[in-house]
Structure formats: C-alpha cells, structure tokens
Structure 1
C-alpha cells in the first residue's frame, strides 16, 4: 500500500505530456522522477515478475498464489496507470493492449525513437549549418543542444567538441577573435568554458 500511495503522489511531478514532438524531454523527466524513487526498473525490464504460484520443495508448484507476485503486479499496474496519465490522446494509441509497464515503455520507445536515415542526415546538416542570427547566445546554444539530444536519442554520437565546433561556425563575424582562439587550443574546451567565453 505504501508503494501505491507513493506512485500516486508522483503524478504531480510529471508535468510533461508525451506528444509527437517532445519524446526526449518527456522521457527524460519521466525517467528522472521514477529513478529517484527506485521504480524505473519496472519500465526497463530489470524488475522481473516473481512466479505466480508458490513453489515448495515437497510439492513443487502449488495452487497458492505467491504474495510477492500479487504485490509486483499491483505496483506494475499502478506504474502503467501513471505512465498512461502522462500521455496525450495520440500517444495512448501506441500502448493500448500493453499488459505491463515494460511493454508500454518499449512500445513508446519503438514508436518515438525511430528516425529514418534521411531525418538523421537532415539533423546533422542542421547542426552544422545553424546560424546564431538574432538569438541570444543561450538560445542559440539551446537550439544546438536540442539537435544533439535528438541525434543521441537515436544512437548517433555527438561529442561536446562537435557541438562547440558547430556553434563556432554559426557565430557572426563579431566572434572571429574568439573563434580563432578556441580553434587554436591544444586541449578541448568544456561547454561551460565555451559558454563563458561567449559572454
């Protein structure tokens, strides 16, 4: 029962509803909150359902329902309900028929992390051709980070250094001196140092 109450109280922390264009943000919030409470292992499949029936050395499998099984199913159903409560109407369609929180999580990942090769190429091109324009430095770096996150979500590696180079290339000529200094460095620059240099 304690777990049940704890799960219900998590809903207030999950402020993002999943829709077609926010899977990375939604799954980050959902995973972070559930990991905090040691409940995310139901979604990853690391928490395995105990046997339904009690096993004894004398009788083997009995007709008695295992208490651990009942408790696990109750928690898993509560977690599945919690997951469903954070989905938009369109996203719910992808989990209809799922019997466990792991099945539902896997179905959502399969649906939302599939990005075609042309889309990956488009994102990479966007990363390398993005211009700062009239944006503030913070907004510009956030736009670049969003593309990096989208690429990483589909298994494409984008290092901090790649992001710094892409950011440097999109800066206007006022930043020529900083660009020259950073490109000439022997050691890589962290994103924090890079951000500080641009202020």
Structure 2
C-alpha cells in the first residue's frame, strides 16, 4: 500500500470509540478489525518492520542518503500514528507522548490498559462466580458475564465455555430450577449458542 492510498479520514470514520479507562477491549477489537481489513495492522504488531534506511553503496558502509522505500514506510507509519492518536481520549494521549512509531504507541497503550493487577483478577473471578441474574433479562445477564470473561482474558486468565455456563446457572433464580437440573445432569457437552437458546426459551415460558 502506498501513502497516497492511505486514507486516514476514511479509517477514522470506521472507528466509533475513543479509548478510555474502561473500554480498552472494545476499542482494541474495533481498531484491529479496521486495520486488519486494510492490511495495516502489521505496523502495530511488528510484522511490518522498518525498511533499510540508508542506501548501501559499497563494502565500506552506508551513505547518508535515505532510501525511497524507508521514506514511504515512514510516511505510512506516521500517518498511522496520527490515526491512532485521533482515537484516544485526552487521558489516553498522555501515554503515547514521545512515541516515535505507531508500534511504540501501541505497545505503550497495551502496557497501560491491558495490565490487570492480581487484586483485580481476584475481584473479577469473584464477580463471575457470584453474579446473579436478578431482574435482568437472560441476554443482559449473559452479556454482563461475558464482559467479565473478556476482562479476565485480557489478564491471560481464560474462562472456558463450560465454566461460564456454570456461572450462569448459579446466577439464575429458582424459576429456572428445572433447566438447571437438566443442564447439570447432562452427559454430553452443549455449545454456548444452544445453551443461550434454551435459556431464552425458558425465559419466554416463564413470562407466559
């Protein structure tokens, strides 16, 4: 991709979120999707490396002449750095000041927002194990637990689909006792999609 074909305004139009303290996962997912769709995420993850900066003339070394390829790489990288900065809140910008490349800025943001303390991990584990549906709809309850699951994933603490389903069952009221009994007694596994479908069916039956 050439710098002339890199339309930063067009990329910005696809990003609806600005990075804040509590939305890193959603922001990162949206940003990665946009950049990967334009074959540009390699500048952020390091798979697209800076090209040779100076032209090698002979065995004695390099000249001071910057190569055209490096100039082109630098134009794209600086454009992407500007794009990244434009998706940040005022607070988040503080963490990228001084970054020379888009990758430097990306790593700084990841270090700041993706690092989860041990105390926070324990808190999230407790939340997912003790969450109650209460007055929420089934879908809202499932989304609440999925959000906790995603936060744990950022901290490299994966929650399996089975464990997530058990947490959901534990948080259901007595009205769902029958379906809880059925799921606990199952000898075969079930996909989370089918699990959700059956919960929604039960919810509708309870309302009726």
Normalising by structure 2, report the TM-score.
Answer: 0.91
The residue that corresponds to 2:90 in the other structure is: 89
What is the total number of aligned residue pairs between the two structures?
198
Instruction: Describe the superposition over 1:31-57 as per-residue Cα deviations: whole angstroms up to 9, x where unpaired.
Output: 111111110111111110011111245
The residue that corresponds to 2:6 in the other structure is: 4
The residue that corresponds to 1:98 in the other structure is: 99
Q: How does 1:153-192 map to 2 (within 5 A)?
A: 153-192=154-193
The residue that corresponds to 1:132 in the other structure is: 133
Instruction: Describe the superposition over 1:8-44 as per-residue Cα deviations: whole angstroms up to 9, x where unpaired.
Output: 3110000100011110111111111111111011111
Distance in 1 of aligned mates of 2:192 and 2:58: 59
Distance in 2 of aligned mates of 1:59 and 1:65: 17
The residue that corresponds to 2:204 in the other structure is: none
Instruction: Describe the superposition over 1:112-170 as per-residue Cα deviations: whole angstroms up to 9, x where unpaired.
Output: 01111111000000001000000011100000000000000110011111111100100
The residue that corresponds to 1:120 in the other structure is: 121
Instruction: Describe the superposition over 1:81-111 as per-residue Cα deviations: whole angstroms up to 9, x where unpaired.
Output: 0000000000000000000000000000100
Judge conservation of contact 1:3–1:75 (CA < 8 Å) in 2.
Answer: no
| Unaligned stretches of 5+ residues in structure 1 | none
Normalising by structure 1, report the TM-score.
Answer: 0.95
Distance in 1 of aligned mates of 2:117 and 2:154: 13
- Please state how far the C-alpha of 1:58 moved relative to its aligned partner: 6.1
SS in 2 for 1:26: helix
Distance in 2 of aligned mates of 1:8 and 1:67: 25
1:195 equivalenced with 2:184 (yes/no): no
Distance in 1 of aligned mates of 2:124 and 2:39: 34
| Unaligned stretches of 5+ residues in structure 2 | 201-208
1:13 equivalenced with 2:14 (yes/no): yes
Distance in 1 of aligned mates of 2:116 and 2:90: 22
Distance in 2 of aligned mates of 1:187 and 1:95: 49
Judge conservation of contact 1:43–1:105 (CA < 8 Å) in 2.
Answer: yes
- Please state how far the C-alpha of 1:60 moved relative to its aligned partner: 4.5
The residue that corresponds to 2:23 in the other structure is: 22
Distance in 2 of aligned mates of 1:59 and 1:4: 37
The residue that corresponds to 2:153 in the other structure is: 152
